[in-house]
Amino acid sequence: MLQSLLGSEFKPQQLSPLVSGLLAIGAVVALYPVGFRTGHKAAKDAALPPGVDAPVRVPYLSSGLPLLGHTLELARNSHRFLDWLLDLCQSREGKPFVLKLLGKNDLMITAVPEHHEQILKTQFENFVKGDHLYEMLVDVAGPNVVIIEGERWKYQRKVLVNLFSTRVLREHMMPIIQKHTQVLLEIFSAAASDAKPLELGELLHRFTLDSFAEIGFGSQLGSLAAGQEHPFGKALDDALHIAAARRFVLKWVWKAKRWLNVGSERQLHEAVHVMDSLVMRIISDAIEQRSHRNDPNVDDQKAVRGIVSIILDRMQADGQSVEPSEVRSIALLSLIAGRDTTANALAWLFHMLHEHPNVEGKLRAELLARFPKLATSEDYVPAMEELQHLPYLEATISEVLRLFPIFPYTSRQCIKDTVFPDGTFVRAGTDIGLPHYAMARLPSVWGPTAADFIPERFLDSETGEVLDIPAATSSAFGAGPRVCVGRRLATLEMKLVIAAIVGRFHLTEVPGQDVGYKVALSLTMKDPLVVTVERVDHVVADSA
């Protein structure tokens, strides 16, 4: 159990009595977080919203131990963290509860949609990302828009909003995704002809990495055509995995390992170095190209027009000094989000289509009715303008993102005593856990069929049109001021790939696989999803 808290490299038999004593002292000291204040007095002093007579304090989960609280229970379930939270939420019938963890602030878990609305939108200013999340992730992508607050957050978000304008989507981003989708189609066609299994999850990650590396940096990684993972992709996976694992290790332990540059923290440092060897070179090249824009001897048409160049243009227009480290943070965050979100969502979607052939049939029928060229051309890929008004496709994507949210668990920290409209009191200094994966499976939120895959729940039963579900209830891309700025691009990319693949091919999972998730920042499959590819009967090769 101690090994779970101290990290995978911890070997109890190697500790001297002195070191063991220091660890024990450190653990005891860690029991007392800074800024403790009794909840009773804070609740009494909190301002009440209209209609609330008295604040309601959220109870601690009853299974806590003296001093340790729920720390050991969390450590025992760290490998199944999302399902552990689901079990707890179900046992509480969706009502919030508080966990007491060694050396950490109280952690309130709430799967109540109305609470999510308050935290993410209505009382957004009372809930920040917090120092813990910042420290956990800053070593990977720098001080980026996901983890920072204040004026720098506002500025970086403004830059990102400009990146995803309709014009940039249409003229720059979607043509790149179409090009890489055609490469993906060639791989599926070859697999269908050769009856050779594909590792679908790994393939989709290479597809999204190639796409977003070109969108973001103007870089041609070529990992999709090469048939193997690019070193950048491997380094990114390693860095994100190690950073996410910090959540389950005592903070002073992983910080000591980072200072000593040993174990997993050394691996993280090496992975970031590999990433930066590519990213910083591209940023330097972009800055150099900009310095020659007015040089008549330089062909400006050869300049890379990726996210990096657009960021630099935005900074110049705003009179901001160009700091390569900040450009790195913005661009790298865009690549990480674009690669993992889409690849993971597509992998889960194809898995659910395998499990639900009736849904696959309905989806294919809608796609072929809208895009008959899918049945006659092997390389046809729909354009951005053609991907509108596909209700069953949109409902299927929404249902996949409901059950398999891009970020299955997110967190905030309360910085001001807050009372929700239902009277629930949240003390300043409390950490908040938003268990999106668990909330999607609660009958108290989605009814008795909550755990079932039913795209029709997102469609009007009379008109067949897509229903407008509140973002706080189905928060695949977040809600409120921090809603994902790249959600439109991610949705368009998913629509494009699904149309191109499902309209032409049927995927069958190789028997004997245990399809599940690994604990990470995003909801990633723990093992490659191996499938065989079969061409749909009516698709014929384009003889042109």
Q: Is 465 helix (H, G, I), strand (E, B) or coil?
A: coil
Question: Quick check: 117 pLDDT over 80?
Answer: yes
Q: What percent of the chain has pLDDT over 70?
A: 87
Residue 226 or residue 307, greater confidence: 226
Q: What is the DSSP string of 250-293?
A: -HHHHHHHHHHT-HHHHHHHHHHHHHHHHHHHHHHHHHHHHHTT
pLDDT in tens, 194-224: 989 999 999 999 999 999 888 877 778 888 8
List helix spans (H) across 356-462.
Answer: 357-370, 391-403, 436-439, 443-446
Q: What percent of the chain has pLDDT over 90?
A: 52
Token pair in block for residue 232: 């950048």
The mean per-residue pLDDT over the stretch 357-368 comes to 97
Question: Quick check: 244 pLDDT over 50?
Answer: yes
The architecture that CATH gives domain 155-535 is Orthogonal Bundle (1.10)
Maximum mean pLDDT: which of 91-95, 284-288, 338-342: 91-95
Residue 387, number of CB atoms within 10 A of its CB: 21
The mean per-residue pLDDT over the stretch 18-45 comes to 46
pLDDT in tens, 99-116: 999 888 999 999 999 999
pTM: 0.88
The mean per-residue pLDDT over the stretch 484-504 comes to 94
pLDDT in tens, 73-99: 998 998 999 999 999 999 999 999 999
Please report, for the chain, the start and end positions of each structural domain, with discontinuous segments joined by +.
2-128, 155-535
> Which region among 3-7, 65-69, 306-310, 314-318 has the lowest average model confidence (pLDDT)?
3-7
Helices 131-141 and 251-260: crossing angle in degrees, nearest 10, is: 30
Q: What is the DSSP letter of 118?
A: I
Q: With contact defined as beta carbons under 8 Å apart, do 505 and 188 qualify?
A: yes
pLDDT in tens, 396-448: 999 999 999 999 999 999 999 999 999 999 999 999 999 999 999 999 999 99
Tell me the pLDDT band of 15, cut-offs 50, 70 and 90: very low
pLDDT in tens, 141-181: 888 888 889 988 888 888 888 878 888 888 888 999 999 99
| 474, burial (CB in 10 Å: exposed 0-12, middle 13-18, buried 19+) | buried
Question: Quick check: 3 pLDDT over 80?
Answer: no
**In whole numbers, what is the pLDDT of the chain averaged over residues?**
85
The mean per-residue pLDDT over the stretch 229-256 comes to 88
> Which region among 67-76, 151-160, 314-323, 379-388 has the lowest average model confidence (pLDDT)?
314-323
Which residue, 403, 380, 351, is CA-closest to 200? Answer: 351
Q: What is the DSSP string of 486-500?
A: THHHHHHHHHHHHHH
pLDDT at site 33 = 47
Residue 16 or residue 455, greater confidence: 455
pLDDT at site 453 = 98
Which residue, 384, 431, 407, is CA-closest to 479? Answer: 407
pLDDT in tens, 227-239: 888 888 889 889 9
Question: In terms of DSSP bridges, do strands 410-414 and 56-57 run parallel, antiparallel, or are they unpaired?
Answer: unpaired
Question: Quick check: 125 pLDDT over 90?
Answer: yes
**Cβ-Cβ contacts under 8 Å for 93 (sequence gap 6 or more):** 444
Distances (CA, A) of 359 to 79, 393, 463, 500: 31, 10, 19, 17
Which residue, 244, 217, 231, is CA-closest to 271? Answer: 231
The mean per-residue pLDDT over the stretch 475-501 comes to 91
Q: What is the DSSP letter of 65?
A: B
> Which region among 50-64, 251-265, 501-515 has the lowest average model confidence (pLDDT)?
50-64
pLDDT at site 310 = 75
Token pair in block for residue 114: 């109305």
